[in-house]
Structure 1
Amino acid sequence: MAQFEADAYGEEVCKVLSSQIKDSKVLVTGVTPGSIGGEAVIQISCRAPALLVLAGRNSQALQELDRTIKLETPNVQTRLLVIDLSSQESVHKAAVEVKSYPETLDILINSARVMASLFSLTKDGLELQFGTNHIGHFLFTNLVLEEILRRGASGTRVANVSSLGHKREPIRFDDYKFEEGKVYDKWQAYGQSKTANMFYSVSLAERLGDKGVEAFSLYPGRIVTRLVKYLTNEDWLNSRWRHPDGTLNNDPKFNWTTQSQGAAKLIVAAYEPKMSDNNGSYLACNAVRNDEAADYALDPQNAEKLWILSEDLVDQKFFK
């Protein structure tokens, strides 16, 4: 039986997991005010972590969130890390900074993401959603894990925020850039990137599980955040998320959750010790839900195929 209900709030999850959070050293990407990553770090900060690294591409947003945290918990040690996951140059720079920390991280929560954007390429020539949501995290996390393992640390956990949207598209191994945008569908592109997050978790568990690394992917629930900035009125209506009058559709099947409930799922994936026996799994509703994943999304052979492709795209081999 799962320890937490599907609709648990971040506050109650942190209370139960307070002994795991206390003295932990955690880095969370995509932490802006109004994001589930931002809400997660606010909740974690109240349970005495040893270090809380706020990672995002906008330094002003990071400073704003840091001020919010310090108003409630002035003694918590925070560190701000500017990283643009769509730029491999920025990722390398941020990784160098993290590797210079005297502390060794215990937890990495990869929460940053782009959703349903118009077709564009990253500075490295990758489709934006795939390049940001997967490749950016793949490169950054692997670079940081190399240093963690070099220091001889064990018990590191990586939580990769995926989505129910992974069911929209597997990995397009032969055409991950949608014919350079000619056949681009923003939802299929988002789905591909979220499948990639799941494959990455499978691969980390397979490659580094014997070294004490645990990795999980998770569906945080359907939440209205700044992530929806690319959605048009037509998107909202076609998805039936909104009524024609503009109000949200409260049909229970849409499973709308609050910021705190979404953050709870990140925190469970990052800290719940009972998950350790299911390394590489997909979580939803605060529990292992591999049976609810698309058939292709946890396949180890395709996960390995994506790992090799990802190494080619960042021009670097890891953990051989």
Structure 2
Amino acid sequence: SVLITGVTLGSVGGEAALQLSRHAPALLVLAGRNLETLQATENAIKAETPDANTRLLIIDLSSQESVRRAAAEVNNYPERLDHLINNAGIMAAPYSTTPEGVELQFGINHIGHFLFTNLLLEKIMSGESKVRVVNVSSAGHKRGPVRFGDVNFENGKCYDKWQAYGQSKTANMLFSVSLAEKAGNKGVESFSLYPGRRETGIGRHLKPEEWVKAGIINDDPKLNWRTASQGAATLIVAAYDPSNSDKNGSYMVNNQVNNDEAVEYALDPKNAERLWKLSEEIVGQKF
């Protein structure tokens, strides 16, 4: 069984869900905050694979209450869960905070997934075979480390949306480092990955010149994009390829482990441990 967050049609997550459904997983859970979006993806899957066993899960990753509710629902599933793909996210959004007062990109991209994953970990580890937790990061992690003393950018006073995006994507990578360290001996394998530059809804509020300024695209918009299908391939390799088992906690680019592409702070075990403790404080629970 596999659960994937952020499955809008046309996005990397939506494409990954479509590709996975063709391989008849025992259960494919489509998770997101908008029921209509989930239904559209489910309909596309059923049109192609009528027998696909899909289930929809409402989760708003910005709300710890919603995350806890969704995790409780999954923990009540009779099926076990072998693969968790934490793909949902936002990018370079204007300053805002979650209901708990956490800067929104950090809250959705990292804290929501941190809490969700940890609440599901016992269920995920309940079987005999190895399981995978995949955290979708980005080359954007190079835009900023985790600001351990001030993840909220002085409550927005010194907010830089790209640094905040970088902070959240660095956190995704450090989370995989921690999961490998803490649960690797219990059969949990975790990878972070960069699906490649792709034109999806994640940057819907950005002007083209902002994409260029950020180095996400060149002045010629035809250059250096990857399709959703190519991006999805790296998600699927990270979730399923057994040949990577000896590289637990690593960062993947273009379908293969490539830790050289990561900035040192994003794979540093000390930073990973600091982030784990900070995340526990933010969600008010130790794991």
TM range (shorter): over 0.9
- Which residue number in structure 2 is paired with residue 274 of structure 1? 243
Query: Is the aligned partner of 1:136 residue 2:109?
Result: no
- Which residue number in structure 2 is paired with residue 97 of structure 1? 73
- How far is the alpha carbon of 1:203 from its aligned partner? 0.2
Query: Which SS does the other structure have where 1:74 is aligned?
Result: coil
- Which residue number in structure 2 is paired with residue 311 of structure 1? 280
CA distance in 2, matches of 1:154, 1:166: 32
Q: Aligned to 1:159, which of 122, 134, 139?
A: 134
- Which residue number in structure 1 is paired with residue 171 of structure 2? 196
- How far is the alpha carbon of 1:292 from its aligned partner? 1.4
Query: Which residue identity lines up with residue 277 of structure 1 in the other structure?
Result: D
- Runs of 4+ residues over 4 Å off in structure 1: none
Query: Is the aligned partner of 1:74 residue 2:50?
Result: yes
- Which residue number in structure 1 is paired with residue 221 of structure 2? 248
Cα pair distance change 1:239/1:317, threshold 3 Å: closer
After superposition, where does 1:1-320 map in structure 2 within 5 Å?
A: 25-149=1-125, 151-239=126-214, 241=217, 243=219, 248-250=221-223, 255-318=224-287
CA distance in 1, matches of 2:280, 2:47: 42
Query: Which SS does the other structure have where 1:230 is aligned?
Result: coil
Query: Which residue identity lines up with residue 284 of structure 2 in the other structure?
Result: D
Query: Which SS does the other structure have where 1:296 is aligned?
Result: helix
Contact 2:27 2:55 in 1 (8 A): yes
CA distance in 1, matches of 2:174, 2:182: 12
Query: Which SS does the other structure have where 1:124 is aligned?
Result: coil
Contact 1:195 1:297 in 2 (8 A): yes
CA distance in 2, matches of 1:300, 1:90: 30
CA distance in 2, matches of 1:133, 1:310: 12
Contact 1:104 1:153 in 2 (8 A): no
- How far is the alpha carbon of 1:236 from its aligned partner? 3.0
Q: Deviations over 1:240-260 (max 9, x none)?
A: 6264xxx6152xxxx311110
Q: Deviations over 1:225-284 (max 9, x none)?
A: 0011121244134346264xxx6152xxxx311110000010000000001010000011
CA distance in 2, matches of 1:208, 1:242: 40
Contact 1:154 1:213 in 2 (8 A): no
Query: Which SS does the other structure have where 1:217 is aligned?
Result: strand
Query: Which residue identity lines up with residue 276 of structure 1 in the other structure?
Result: S
- How far is the alpha carbon of 1:285 from its aligned partner? 1.1
Query: Which residue identity lines up with residue 290 of structure 1 in the other structure?
Result: N
TM-score scaled by length of structure 1: 0.87
CA distance in 2, matches of 1:237, 1:302: 30
CA distance in 2, matches of 1:296, 1:238: 24
- How far is the alpha carbon of 1:155 from its aligned partner? 1.0
Q: Percent identity, aligned pairs only?
A: 64
Contact 1:154 1:211 in 2 (8 A): no
RMSD over aligned Cα, in angstroms?
1.2
Q: Please, which runs of 5 or more residues in structure 2 have no aligned partner?
A: none
Q: Please, which runs of 5 or more residues in structure 1 have no aligned partner?
A: 1-24
Bigger relative contact order, structure 1 or 2 (CA pairs below 8 A, ≥6 apart): 1
CA distance in 1, matches of 2:225, 2:153: 31
Contact 1:116 1:187 in 2 (8 A): yes
Q: Deviations over 1:195-214 (max 9, x none)?
A: 00000000000000000000
CA distance in 2, matches of 1:85, 1:314: 12
